[in-house]
Structure 1
């Protein structure tokens, strides 16, 4: 008997049991009803109840079995899909290194939206994973805006008021007048090279994909961090650095005073969402001086000590204070790959070519805090 038939029978039995109970109640009230008739009705009612309980137990067992089959099916399907994607990634890497064409089936498993299949472009799902899941620490991943739009253009500020005297912050107004109201992102090439030994190439799909993806993710994150905090940036990457000389510097007698003054120097619209990126060693120096032998300050969260949330990075030689929603990285979705061989080491190289840009949408939203080291 199938589940639907059992449910229908249960409904019918339930109706009979309800009517039987009502009939027994009516007969019991009537003193003229013989005792034998009442006993007969009660016996029939108990029989119906037993049948109902037996069928209900069967129904619950069938539903439990169906639920377990569905769960196992979904689990198996999920595992198969995951393994298919893993195998596809491994096949793509091995095919590239061995100069074999990548089959349409592999690209389809990776969600490729590259119509021709001729270019060595990574499928979008893979590109997104490489950009979104780094292992190398890059504090800007927690602060800045990230996007993936070709030839992106965005307004420097999200809104203006028709009765405003342009913009309340004078520095922002000057910046808008000098640089225009639009921010245009360029395409600056960056290559990340991953060494793949013969043993890794022959390893399991899981080990191969994990090795290559982690190295590519870390390489991109490190490149972002390097260009954003470059003290002497390359000419074409100068606009990407907080230390390009275009962000206002605020000086204090000590690092602590410089950071306080930098926060206060921000316009209130930026100050409300301001955060600090600085070296951990500089923070420890500040705490040590403020504590003056009292160890409890070392246990306080950095936000409580400096007044704003803090992200640590050894690359931030001078603390950067500001509203980091005005820092944005944009990647061109067409992330490509190629391969080569290092003749000196015999290592295979899997090379990722990414195009990205980092723009400070409003430089007036940031300050560089510098301690006065003049003797």
Structure 2
């Protein structure tokens, strides 16, 4: 291992069309802390969180900020306090927004948020899963408090996206809820149906289309696109129902939900890494997900693979994600040196 490693980062908040929006750099290989793994990164995936940080979070003056949350790779070093992993383990994880990212040849990550990679998946296939799996899992089993035998109706907006794809799969694998997914394009509808949605409806007339398959309303709703939809949600969610939002709309007004006593939840998968750093929940759920994958009950959501990991390919991946038209996940895999 050399002292420097190829990495991709940015110095200024620029549109992805600008060649300087993401650049190739050489940075020191990180030293793992007591609870850290040092991972040789083999694949990363790009999420809306990556594009939002690149566009809005300015690096410190003169410094390069390295992005990247989802990653899969091989453990090449461990901190003195690590108990769950050994050198040579293949792992996957989503990391923390509070630390340098995974768009680098080597990455230091706390073992509490890392899982062993599903044995039946390639590194690229595994890298598609962690962030969206954690978001979906925390939504279903923390916020909605669902479990084995849980019933009711779950509405998944943006079902062909990364999070929606995992919500459908985990809900079908681990609960008995009826899954209603929204999609508008034929290819998005087919994707949601293939993942197990009981019904797929058009989000462009949300109240009428949901009412056609769930006339009594829905018990649970996951919202990745909240702005302008609260009054619609108030119509289609049953009294005492629950909504989880994964976006951050400005000027949000929730009063229309009061009459039905609808509960509102936020889901931010970095809450645990930021505020509960020794909580092993994300490690545990990634381990459970890996078993579900290896049992054939959950599948990867990788649909587009680019490579190798460099600035040009990551700019292309960011561009695809920013289009909001992608189905599943975009992964960038491999280093050419």
Q: Which of the pair has more CA radius of gyration?
A: 1
Indicate whether the TM-score tops 0.5: no
Q: Under a length normalisation based on structure 1, what TM-score does the superposition of the two structures give?
A: 0.22
More strand by share: 2
Q: Under a length normalisation based on structure 2, what TM-score does the superposition of the two structures give?
A: 0.24
More helix by share: 1
